[in-house]
Amino acid sequence: MKGAAQATRRRSQRVIITLAITIRTVERPKESSFVEETHTLVVNAHGALVVLAGQVRVGQQLLIANRATQQEQLCRVASLGAASAGKVQVGLEFLKPSRDFWHISFPPEDWVVPEPAPPSDKP
């Protein structure tokens, strides 16, 4: 069980938060390039899970801009997930980890959510 827990351990804590971002392509061909205003679903120091209508592929490089700060960060598409309403969940990985890009406070590395107590049989 210990090995399984370490296999699923993340490099940094995830935070479920909706932040306004802009994604744009940095590669050619020009006919497949796009700029899209969207939002995050989850963020961490190594990237984010976002929703995109634009067509992307795993490994593709994109530029993500935090609209609150106007900071930009180069990233790559790490995963493609579920599609809904014409948009796809896209996992983005920063080419250089940036704990400060999101301008939020991350929980400490050893922070865990406690498991709920089992229900009591007493009335």
Which residue matches tokens 């006919």? 31
* Strand duo 15-16 + 20-25: pairing: unpaired
Confidence of residue 8 (pLDDT cuts 50, 70, 90): very low
**Which domain, by its residues, includes 81?**
10-94
What pLDDT does 31 receive?
72
What pLDDT does 10 receive?
52
pTM beyond 0.95: the answer is no
Has residue 13 got a pLDDT over 80? no
Structural domain total, the chain: 1
Has residue 36 got a pLDDT over 80? yes
Is 40 contained in some domain? yes
Beta bridge partners of 15: 43
Given its phi and psi angles, is residue 32 left (phi above 0), alpha (psi -120 to 50 degrees) or beta?
Answer: alpha
- The CATH number assigned to the domain holding 59 equals 2.40.10.220
In angstroms, the CA 59 to CA 96 distance is 15
Q: What is the mean pLDDT of residues 11-34?
A: 84
Is 60 contained in some domain? yes
